[in-house]
Structure 1
Amino acid sequence: MSLGIIIPLKAKKVSRSWEITSNLLHNTLLSLQNQSSQNYHAVVVGHDRPHLSALRHDLINFIHTEFEIPPLKKGGSYSKYSDFDRIIDKYRKIAEGYCFLESKNIQYFMVLDADDLIHKDLSKYILADCNPHGYILKAGYEYFSKAKRVIPRKKLDKICGSTTIIHANHMPKIDTVNDESLKLIPWCFLSHSQMEEYFFKKKSPLKTVPFKSLMYVLQHDDNSSDEFRSTLKAKFREQLKIFILGHHISDQVKLDFALDSTYNDKKIGI
């Protein structure tokens, strides 16, 4: 049994910088390589395959999506995420990744954004604790990559999409990825902020992971949320928040999330 991790990757055409997108994915995969339990299987789903050197082919796969990038709105640009249906693009990739992992011996499923990092003991804890419904990742960090500072958070599930792990018993059987099957996959019909309440009402409560298990990476110039911080006022408020609430990353946190120089000198291939 293992933890199945689905990583939807934006297309080169959509990315503001393919180099940044590739480097962020590289760091995300390093946090998988860093897991103290290697009982996981990850799949990256995208239109374009990043050029990363070969390593751990048995645990990390890349599959090309069968769907075209959704069309632009009239006069729009792919560099602006609100100008095309990026949500449908992401949902389709999640569904394709899920269908791929269904053939593996997966006990829990997780959707991880291609720029976020997980704690080295996450897979070990999940598979040892074995909650029958799944988990919610509340505690963790906002990591501001330009400032090299982190802010500890207790409610990451309200601001980050990589915060839900669901037991296979609560996942659907899907033969074909289409508009109807998307309605069956929790990440495709619920926002991350609704997950906990949804499963609670189903009498299948998700258990809170009792340690800082996720690092939400920001300030790398390729966040979709950057569009909401485009004004000078928004940027000033962000800098003020980082200065007041943030602090430098400890050596232990770097080790926990594979941010130390030893791991960053390695490369992962898919």
Structure 2
Amino acid sequence: MLAFITTLRHPQNSVDYGRVEQLLQDTLRSVTQQTVEDYVVIIVGNQRPSFDLPARTKFVLVDFPAPAPPTGAQTARAPFVWDKGTKLGVGLIAAMPFDPSHVMIFDADDFVHRDLAAMVSEHLNHPGWVIRDGWMYSQARNAYIRQPDFNRTCGTCFIVPFEAYGVPEHLTEEASQQDIAEAYGERLSQIMGAHRNAESWYREHGRALEPLSYPGAVYHVDTGENHSGKSLTGFARPLDTRMERDFAIAPSRGRASTLWSAFGPIAVFDEVRRLGSRVVRRFTRALKR
């Protein structure tokens, strides 16, 4: 069984919590369209969603304090890593009764491929996968591009055996945030609250992950709620039936509007600016040699 686990940011640190919930609904539509039922979804947050959750989905309520002031000013990254990591720690504890063979941590605004649970069901003893090649999608533009180095860009990128997280059996879902952090140790900051260097951490701890043979996830940007603030610029591919089928992404624009967004004047301007910046960087490097 594959356990999908995610967290929700504290409402105090959201620009628009209604938007956070809408993004979660879109993501759950993707996650729960798996081609087999051998999966469970765990969500951990400070406020129970206002909508009915899909089947095979469990919400765990926590009362952890907000990691930043109400202004939402992110003066330091560490508090958000702490918040996300400890919530994922609770999610892993909540997944234990389902006896999952593997876990996929996902961000609550991304999309995942419909065949992941089936793949895990066929390889229950597999040492784990890393998604190095995926997609970046903008609902605002209804368009997408390929995203190389996906696992260093997006947190929805690892499928690993449950035992890799060292889930503490002596703790319950009601454990304190401090107890959770102490129980998971360095895993909290290295592979739970953050993802950029997680593959190296796994390798250094004797776990070589296999690159997934197909783009298994979609990094959703331009949402207004991304911590990273990333945006899809330049030319892009209009959303197509393959993406709709494999990731359950619903079109957000009509065909003509999408083509204009993907290839119109703004996209041309961004592409020219991007290429120009690349030329300047190369010229600057050449002068320094």
**TM-score after normalising by structure 2:** 0.77
- Indicate the residue corresponding to 1:202 in structure 2: 205
8 A Cα contact 2:138 2:144, kept in partner: yes
> Post-superposition shift, 1:184?
5.2
Are residue 257 (structure 1) and residue 259 (structure 2) matched?
no
Q: Map residues 169-208 of structure 1 onto 2, 5 A cutoff.
A: 169-174=163-168, 175-176=170-171, 177-183=179-185, 185=187, 188-190=189-191, 191-208=194-211
Cα distance in 1 for residues equivalent to 2:75 and 2:113: 31
Query: Residue 166 of structure 2: SS of its match in structure 1?
Result: coil
Contact in 2 for aligned 1:182/1:188 (Cα 8 Å): no
Q: Deviations over 1:28-65 (max 9, x none)?
A: 11012211122111111000112113541xx1011111
Aligned mates of 1:89, 1:54 — CA distance in 2: 23
After superposition, residues 90-105 of structure 1 pair within 5 angstroms as 90-105=84-99
Higher RCO (CA < 8 A, seq sep 6+): 1
The amino acid across from 1:202 in the alignment is H
What does residue range 117-132 of structure 1 map to in structure 2 within 5 Å? 117-132=111-126
Name the SS for the 1:180 alignment partner: helix
User: Percent identity between the aligned chains?
Assistant: 20
* Residue 131 (structure 1) shift: 4.9
Structure 2 unaligned spans of 5+: 172-178, 252-289
Match of 1:19 in 2: 18
CA contact 2:90–2:180 (8 Å) conserved in 1: no
- Kept after mapping to 2: 8 A contact 1:133/1:169: no
Q: Partner residue of 1:62?
A: 59
CA deviation profile, 1:113-152 (whole Å, cap 9, x unmatched): 1101101111111221345321111221101121111011
Inter-CA distance 132–33: structure 2 relative to 1 (3 Å threshold) = closer
CA RMSD of aligned residues (A): 2.1
Equivalent residues of 1:131, 1:207 under 8 A apart: no
Q: How many residues align?
A: 240
Q: Is the 8 A contact 2:102 2:162 kept in 1?
A: yes
CA spacing shift, 1:87–1:202, aligned 2, 3 Å: closer
What's 2:234 paired with?
243
Aligned-pair CA distance for 1:209: 1.1
2:167 and 2:120 map into 1 onto residues whose CA distance is 22
Task: Give me the TM-score of the superposition, normalised by structure 1.
Answer: 0.82
Kindly provide the CA deviation profile for residues 136-180 of structure 1, in whole angstroms up to 9, marking residues without a partner as x: 112211011211110112320010111112112323141334331
SS at match of 1:143: strand
Q: How does 1:142-157 map to 2 (within 5 A)?
A: 142-157=136-151
Name stretches of at least 5 consecutive residues in structure 1 with no aligned partner. 230-237, 262-270
Q: Is the 8 A contact 1:141 1:153 kept in 2?
A: yes
Change (3 A) 1:70 1:192: closer
Matched, 1:214 2:217: yes
Higher Rg: 2
